[in-house]
Amino acid sequence: MISATQIRPGMILVHEGGLCRVLTIQHITQGNKRGKMQVEMRRLRDGVKLQNRFRSEDSVEKAVLEEREMEYLYQEGDHYCFMDTSNYEQVHLPVEILGNAVHYLQPNTRVTVDLYENNPVGIE
């Protein structure tokens, strides 16, 4: 668990039972009231954008991710194929998970794939 003030763009949070990637944050203070964090997130399951406001003292759950080194192989339609370098298993990731990273992928490039409960959620 982390404080709402520690949320940063790119983080993956567990929110309302699902995983959400933080897109933007904005710290809002209204007069003499306490500060709030306006957070725009995208739900990884279906790509829906969410707007949520957290109080400064609220706690949110940051997803614990496993990192695995993989090699980008090829693009097949709107899916990208990656191979695990340790056991040679192949994983196909949709373009929605990869986001803007698809513009930087070159065949045979090694990347770090983030996994949550053995399901890929993004790359670095």
Output the tens digit of pLDDT for each of the chain's 124 residues. Answer: 888 888 988 888 988 888 888 889 998 887 777 888 899 998 887 778 889 998 888 889 988 888 889 998 888 888 888 998 889 888 888 887 777 778 888 888 898 888 888 888 878 7
Contact 68, 83 (CB under 8 A): no
| Residue 88 per-residue DSSP state | -
Query: In this structure, how many other beta carbons lie within 10 angstroms of the beta carbon of residue 18?
Result: 14
Show the tokens assigned to 66.
């496993």
Tokens 């500060």 sit at which residue? 35
H helix intervals, 29-106 = 95-98
